Amino acid sequence: MPLASRSYMPAGGPGLRGGGPTLTVLVGVHGSDRARTRRASVTAPSPIRGTGTIDTGAGTTGVDERVMVALGVAPDGVTRRGTANGTKELNRYAVTVFVPDISLTISLRAAVGVRIAEQGVIVLIGRDVLSRMLFVYNGRQGRIDLAF
């Protein structure tokens, strides 16, 4: 089982408490969309790099809507989700999220579109992904461990 650890130093950064359990991510089109663009002899857009947060409060992984627009990916439906700000209707997308630090590729058919770029992140990694992982959050040491 691959294991990855990351420590968050408060000095020079927000630390684990301020910035959350973040990882560098690359967001790209889903494999099915990539195949479609290949058949149409169109170049698939390059993945977009940003920050993802591991979010145990999110049942479904969320991707910033503007990233999906930049990738040219249209929503394939709408879903209702309970959030900390009440129940919302959110766009649903097929998307691939790559986490380079741990060489993890996550292929999602039903991520939800959210507006989170103002918070400095483009992906909220939710419990649909965490259902395949062991995640340990050590607040006192400012460190996380992931096994998957």
Partner 1 sequence: MEDVRSNVPTGGPRSAASLRQWGPAVDVAVMVHRREAAAVVAAGRAVAPPVAGRAIIDTGSSTTAISFDTAARLRLDPVGEMEVGTGTDIVRAPTFAFSIAFTALETTLDFESAPGLPVARPGQVAIVGRDVLAGALFSYDGPRGVASLEFKGGPPERHA
The residue ranges that bind partner 1 (CB under 8 A) are 16-18, 20-21, 53-59, 62, 81-88, 90, 114-116, 118-119, 124, 127-128, 130-140
Place of tokens 């857009």: 45
Residues 6+ apart with CB under 8 A from 29: 37, 44, 45, 71, 72, 73, 95, 96
Place of tokens 């766009």: 91
Smallest distance, partner 1 to C-beta of residue 115, A: 5
Give the residue with the Cβ less far from partner 1, 29 or 116: 116
Of 60, 88, 68, the C-alpha closest to 28 is 68
Give the residue with the Cβ less far from partner 1, 33 or 63: 63
Round to whole Å and give the CA distance between 25 and 9. 20
Give the residue with the Cβ less far from partner 1, 33 or 125: 125
Give the residue with the Cβ less far from partner 1, 25 or 33: 25
Smallest distance, partner 1 to C-beta of residue 54, A: 6
